[in-house]
Amino acid sequence: MAYTQWISIGGLIFIVACAPVSTHYAFVDQRIAAHDGVGADAVIEKKEGGYGKNSRLLYLLDRGMTLSLSGQYEKSNQMLDQAAQTADALYTESLTLHG
Q: What is the pLDDT of residue 54?
A: 85
| pTM of the predicted model as reported, rounded to 2 decimal places | 0.73
Q: What is the pLDDT of residue 99?
A: 59
pLDDT at 91 over 90: no
Give residue-wise pLDDT tens across range 40-65: 999 999 999 988 888 999 999 999 99
Are 22 and 44 in contact by the 8 Å Cβ rule? The answer is no
Q: How far apart are CA 65 and CA 86, in angstroms?
A: 16
Q: How far apart are CA 9 and CA 54, in angstroms?
A: 34
Q: What is the pLDDT of residue 57?
A: 92
